[in-house]
Chains A and B, each alone.
Chain A
Amino acid sequence: MRRLLWLSVLAAVAIAYPLLLSSPFQQRLGALVLLYAIAASAWNIVGGYAGQVSVGHVVFFGCGAYAAMGAYAKFELSPLFGIPGGIVIAVVLAAVIGVPTLRLSGHYFSMATIAVAETMRLIVTNTDYLGAAVGLSGPTVARNIFDLSFISSLPYYYLFLLVLAITLVITWWMANSRMGFYLRAIKDSERAARSLGAPARRTKLYAFMLSAALTSVAGALYAMMFGFVDPESGLGILISVKILIMAALGGAGLLFGPLVGAAILVPLEEISNSVLGGKGAGLTFVVYGAIIVLIARFQPGGILSLFKRRSKPASEAGAPHAP
């Protein structure tokens, strides 16, 4: 019941926000928070629940971004038509990347995903069909509403809110299914999970593919809002890092963790950018580094883990077989 109440409050705040704080800056900020929350929530499925810390998720983000812009630039279609294509490419790519890399554990998996992401960025930078270093652009002036090219951030805000809601429902459903339980078990002890019948490799791979599909949608939405994609904005490693830090800061493996992380980090970055101007770009990295250190040192479970209902430890509930 209390959970339901909190959910309604959260939903009400999310819906009312751009109407109450209605300056273009605030609306844009809201839309960006939601956009990153979508990406971070998608990452959370494999990075949080399954504990496979991918630093290569920008590859899937790029799939979506390039597919959306490609649909317009190459076929004069609405960028919306690029979304299904982006999802298919991302899922296939996730399978190709996942089969060999998900065998690796811990840091080795993370490093392998970085390598894949950087390789992909270099390939795209040198592919003329994808606009090489210049990238692809979307429609400059909307031909119709399906081009999703708006000057105001308001329509994007509600579009992103809808997609975020869908992403969270999918995540919630997964977390409460056998798959979600298996992922959490694999995170703690893959060997034990397998001994109890959990098909570890297959489960991780499905999670990776689901996560990739949702990340690709985030990438497509990003490109639509900004109207273009280039190797840096669509495949730069910094996007992976941002997504990861947001989820970790809010609480990896918790449903609303990524949203909380995005709601803290995106405003921080936007404000520091507007205060420091172009000079701020380097500082962002410093801030990210500091945040990683702080999370790791003081709250490895993320901010939301502070509020998690504390259940009674076994010692208070009585010994397993009281003598």
Chain B
Amino acid sequence: MLLEARGITKAFGSFKAVDDASVTLEQGDILGLIGPNGAGKSTFFNCLTGDLRTTAGRVLFEGRDITDLAPEQRAQLGLARTFQLPQTFEGMTVLENVMIGAFLRAAHRTEAETKARAVLERVGMIRLADAPARSLGTPGRKRLEIARALATEPKVLLLDEAMAGLNAHEVKLAIDLVRDIHRAGITLVIVEHIMEVIMSLASRVMVFHQGKEIARGSPREVTANPAVIAAYLGTRAAKAAAGHTPIELMGGPT
């Protein structure tokens, strides 16, 4: 088992954003975390990465308890993430942005630069290496987030809405990139709103609603689950929708 979360609860005051959620991740998985806005999936995600401290529950990585480790210590172990709102290092070039990730496993500048260039080559951004990162648009920034995370040579990569704000063509390219990363042996956790992405990428899906896990299984299983449809569309709509393919209702491929 690569990554495991046991009974994660995260409370802000008396409000439980995540309530007793558990998940296991095997080598080679692509786990999709979905749910309506405010369902708690991002909070759960941030508990896995160490950006948020859990109120209760444990997080284990390769059998080791990492609940109390800081984000940088988790990165050291092989956990990498991207941010929903790209956290680009604006004062640096594209190459330097990726070098920050590469420095985790490279002590010297030249070594980090070589690694960073290889990553940029891999994600198709090598031509932009010397451009100031602040000149990138949303698709470029999203891709740079992934490149930086890859440069840390992670075992697990957690993508927080890596496709949000991209147009249909850019989403296709991003899906290709994620597939490529997966083929290279990296296990993935993706939080995503775009159903198409989940349907075409995820091997397993976990659905959140009001801080609780309401369903899990293959993408087809969960989208056929009445509780999931109710969570997205409301109970009455779910009844009315009976007989239609649920995926269709959620804007997925028909």
Question: Which residues of A are at the interface with B, using a C-beta cutoff of 8 A?
Answer: 176-178, 181-182, 184-185, 187-189, 191-200, 253, 311-315, 317-321, 323
Contact call A177/B152, Cβ cutoff below 8 A: no
Bound together, the chains give a CA A129 to CA B88 distance in angstroms of: 51
Contact call A197/B88, Cβ cutoff below 8 A: no
B interface, by DSSP: helix, strand, loop or mixed? helix
Q: Which residues of A contact B49 (CB under 8 A)?
A: 195
Return the contact of B89 from the options A188, A200, A323 (Cβ within 8 A): A188
Contact call A195/B71, Cβ cutoff below 8 A: yes
Q: Which residues of B contact A176 (CB under 8 A)?
A: 109
Contact call A188/B91, Cβ cutoff below 8 A: yes
Contact call A181/B103, Cβ cutoff below 8 A: yes
Contact call B89/A315, Cβ cutoff below 8 A: no
- Known A-B contacts A176-B109, A178-B112; A197 and B104 likewise in contact (beta carbons under 8 Å): yes
Return the contact of A187 from the options B91, B104, B125 (Cβ within 8 A): B91
Return the contact of B103 from the options A182, A187, A191 (Cβ within 8 A): A182
Sampled A-B contacts (10; CB under 8 Å): A184-B96, A188-B88, A195-B72, A196-B80, A198-B100, A311-B93, A314-B94, A314-B140, A320-B125, A321-B170
Bound together, the chains give a CA A270 to CA B193 distance in angstroms of: 63
Q: Which residues of A contact B131 (CB under 8 A)?
A: 311-314, 317
A196-B100, A313-B132 given; name 16 further pairs at CB < 8 Å: A181-B109, A184-B89, A191-B51, A191-B87, A192-B87, A193-B100, A195-B83, A196-B148, A197-B103, A197-B104, A314-B136, A314-B137, A314-B140, A319-B140, A320-B143, A321-B143
Q: Which of A176, A177, A182, A311 has the most CB of B within 10 A?
A: A311
Return the contact of B72 from the options A189, A199, A253 (Cβ within 8 A): A199
Q: Which residues of A contact B170 (CB under 8 A)?
A: 321
B41 CB to nearest A CB, Å = 18
- Known A-B contacts A194-B70, A198-B72, A321-B143; A188 and B90 likewise in contact (beta carbons under 8 Å): yes
Instruction: Answer whether residue B124 sits at the interface, using C-beta atoms and an 8 A cutoff.
Output: yes
Interface residues on B, range: 35 or more
Instruction: Answer whether residue B55 sits at the interface, using C-beta atoms and an 8 A cutoff.
Output: no
Question: Which residue from chain A places its CB closest to the CB of B79 in the assembled complex?
Answer: A195
- Known A-B contacts A193-B100, A198-B72; A188 and B94 likewise in contact (beta carbons under 8 Å): no
Question: Which residue from chain B places its CB closest to the CB of A176 in the assembled complex?
Answer: B109
Instruction: Answer whether residue B202 sits at the interface, using C-beta atoms and an 8 A cutoff.
Output: no
Return the contact of A318 from the options B80, B81, B108, B127 (Cβ within 8 A): B127
Bound together, the chains give a CA A192 to CA B128 distance in angstroms of: 21
Q: Which residues of B contact A195 (CB under 8 A)?
A: 49, 51, 71-72, 75, 80-81, 83, 87, 149
